[in-house]
Amino acid sequence: MAKQIRGADIVARTLDAAGLRTIFTLSGNHIMSLFDAALDTGLRLIHVRHEAAAVHMADAWGRLTGQCGIVWVSGGAGFTNAAAALCTARAAESPLVLLAAHAGLKELGRGAFQELRQAEMAAPVAKASWTAGSAAALGHDVAEAARKALSGRRGPVHLSLPFDLLDEKVDDAPSLWPAPSAFVPQARSLQAAAAERVLVGLATAKRPLVLVGPQLCHSGDLSQLEALEKALGTAVIPMESPRGLNDARLGAFAEVLRQADLIVLLGKALDFTLRFGDAPVVDPACRFIVIDPEAEMVERVAREKGERLAYSIVADPVPAMQALTEGARGKTDAHAWTSEVRAAVAYRPVSWATQTSTQPGKVHPLELCRALQAALATRPNAILVCDGGEIGQWPQATLSPARRVINGPAGSIGASIPFAIAARASDPTAPVIAVMGDGTFGFHMAEFDTAVRYGLPFVAVVGNDAAWNAEHQIQLREYGRNRAHGCELLPSRYDLVAQALGGHGELVTAASELPAALERAIASGKPACVNVMIERIPAPSIRRSTPQ
Ligand SMILES: Cc1ncc(C[n+]2csc(CCOP(=O)(O)OP(=O)(O)O)c2C)c(N)n1
Ligand SMILES: [Mg+2]
């Protein structure tokens, strides 16, 4: 007689065999069979304090490793907590699989515990979302979810696992187990002839630009984008910020964008971040080339730009980037225009180099960034996480680490502590520094406990302006100082929160204290919070025409 195996064991072993061994999870009645099944595998569970944090961790894992992040949560409210965080991963094109428990199939329609139309609920924030239908197919469902997350424009996939299927025993048979190829994403390469069309378009333009979307920003390997830029002789601009053209990392890029006569969108959506490519942000005569994994995106540009869409092709960004680099290598010279673009992107106001705080007991964000720069300079394998409203823009404008995770085009704040923990889990030797606002710190501060339990140190640098400053600044700009209300916070001792949960804490009220505080925090080897009292000022908006 064939050996019997539980559905839960099929799921756990399938993940193990595929090398998807780090699981971000929060327990629940319906997934305890998965916890049990994990014991007989090489899976490592990181058990968090809120389901959204587990998804944010898997999101950062996906961006940093290029491998699917995996999440296990319970059904009902465990699922809904997790689903909310898919929005960030979706916009950031981050590959992950959310495996959520679900009411038993046999009890559906009878008022089962945690009965909820989960697949429908996750659908708008996932690339694909479905409920498993049989225990024997669970391994294949898991493989399909991982493959979908990594194919085309990457993103999160949700799969609900009815708990009766997880508990069900079926005969162990070869047909249960997906072949390794079932996990391999479908790749659509850019054929040489298509690459040539793009290269001819670039060669005949006077002021071309290549814009790349979030997925190419997270490879963790900026050198690929640099190689593309070098081979093309055309500036390659990464766009993954919800601030779009006001992304402080891009300096005065907006000034050159409006002069471009050809824009190549390489896996980059035509959307709000480009102000839809409309005038005056883009010249009304500017032409477009679109290389995108989704036919819908090509159609969108065709609809919006009509005859100005010079050429389009459906292909995945990574192979397309490689094909263009190969096709152009040694054939193209750098445009003089490319140096103009680079100068605009590199522009920062001269005053920034020496800016200091004018308020006693407070640090200017630029002083904070200078101290961070020094700490990062000696740590080339560091990972920088940036989050929060106004504060997050300063490190994005001034620091250029090789590896970076930001909240991304969804514009959602709050993920940075989970991001930092997953960053460390993905590379146990990497110093991880996460810069965030005080409002942001509050979203997932309980995850310090998770980091302590799993020995995953990182440094949360809190720019504490005792405010939801981004919103406060909107009130000041739009409604006036007299009508600014409700966005204040307290100058709380977040450093003591970290200490209370077993981490290390530092309070900083003067720039001179920063270097030593940062070094102590890193050297502590614990999850640490450096709580920096900063001036409550607006984020930078960089324009050369308006000197600051
Ligand atoms: C999930 C989510 N909720 C609310 C917002 C709106 N929001 C954007 S920035 C911000 C204030 C952030 O405050 P803090 O983290 O202290 O950073 P600061 O702007 O003060 O530097 C808020 C509430 C958002 N972007 N995402
Ligand atoms: Mg703040």
Instruction: At 457, give phi and psi (nearest 5°).
Output: -70, 150
Residue closest via CA to ligand 1's atom 13 equals 468
Instruction: Give the pLDDT confidence score for residue 547 in this predicted structure.
Output: 44
Q: How far is the CA of 422 from the centre of ligand 2 (A)?
A: 24
Do the strands 169-171 and 4-6 form a parallel or antiparallel pair, or are they unpaired?
A: antiparallel
C-alpha 243/C-alpha 224 separation (Å) is 24
Mutation test residue for ligand 1: of 385, 438, 468, the one with most atoms within 8 Å of CB = 468
Q: How far is the CA of 391 from the centre of ligand 2 (A)?
A: 7
Tokens of 524: 């502590």
Q: Which ligand is nearest to the CA of 416?
A: 1
Contact 423, 405 (CB under 8 A): yes
Residue 311 CA: distances (Å) to CA of 154, 190, 196, 287, 435:
23, 13, 11, 9, 41
Instruction: Give the pLDDT confidence score for residue 220 in this predicted structure.
Output: 66
Please state the separation of Cα 310 from the chain's center in Å. Answer: 31
C-alpha 87/C-alpha 121 separation (Å) is 12
Q: How far is the CA of 388 from the centre of ligand 1 (A)?
A: 5
In tens, the pLDDT along 162-182 reads: 999 999 999 999 999 999 999
Q: How far is the CA of 376 from the centre of ligand 1 (A)?
A: 25
Which one, of 547, 545, 543, 537, lies nearest residue 366 by Cα? 537
Mutation test residue for ligand 1: of 393, 394, 413, 441, the one with most atoms within 8 Å of CB = 413
Provide the residue count of the chain. 548
Q: How far is the CA of 415 from the centre of ligand 1 (A)?
A: 11
388 lines ligand 1 (CB under 6 A): yes
Q: How far is the CA of 488 from the centre of ligand 2 (A)?
A: 8
In tens, the pLDDT along 280-339 reads: 999 999 999 999 999 999 999 999 999 999 999 999 999 999 999 999 987 777 788 999
Instruction: Give the pLDDT confidence score for residue 301 in this predicted structure.
Output: 98
Residue 39 CA: distances (Å) to CA of 5, 13, 34, 163, 524:
14, 10, 9, 18, 32
Largest Cα–Cα distance in the chain?
A: 80
User: Is-above-0.85 flag for pTM?
Assistant: yes
Q: How far is the CA of 158 from the centre of ligand 2 (A)?
A: 33
438 lines ligand 1 (CB under 6 A): yes
468 lines ligand 1 (CB under 6 A): yes
Q: How far is the CA of 242 from the centre of ligand 1 (A)?
A: 12
C-alpha 40/C-alpha 26 separation (Å) is 19
Q: Which H or E element spans position 223?
A: helix 222-232
442 lines ligand 1 (CB under 6 A): no
448 lines ligand 1 (CB under 6 A): no
Q: Which ligand is nearest to the CA of 539?
A: 1
Q: Which ligand is nearest to the CA of 473?
A: 1
Residue closest via CA to ligand 1's atom 24 equals 412
Each residue's pLDDT expressed in tens, for the chain with a length of 548 residues: 789 999 999 999 999 999 999 999 999 999 999 999 999 999 999 999 999 999 999 999 999 999 999 999 999 999 999 999 999 999 999 999 999 999 999 999 999 999 999 999 999 999 999 999 999 999 999 999 999 999 999 999 999 999 999 999 999 999 999 999 999 998 899 999 999 999 999 999 999 999 999 999 986 678 899 999 999 999 999 999 999 999 999 999 999 999 999 999 999 999 999 999 999 999 999 999 999 999 999 999 999 999 999 999 999 999 999 999 999 987 777 788 999 999 999 999 999 999 999 999 999 999 999 999 999 999 999 999 999 899 999 999 999 999 999 999 999 999 999 999 999 999 999 999 999 999 999 999 999 999 999 999 999 999 999 999 999 999 999 999 999 999 999 999 999 999 999 999 999 999 999 999 999 999 999 999 999 999 999 998 888 865 43
Residues β-bridged to residue 209: 263
465 lines ligand 1 (CB under 6 A): yes
33 lines ligand 1 (CB under 6 A): no
Q: How far is the CA of 533 from the centre of ligand 2 (A)?
A: 10
Other C-beta atoms lying within 10 Å of the C-beta of residue 455: 12
C-alpha 89/C-alpha 215 separation (Å) is 11
473 lines ligand 1 (CB under 6 A): no
470 lines ligand 1 (CB under 6 A): yes
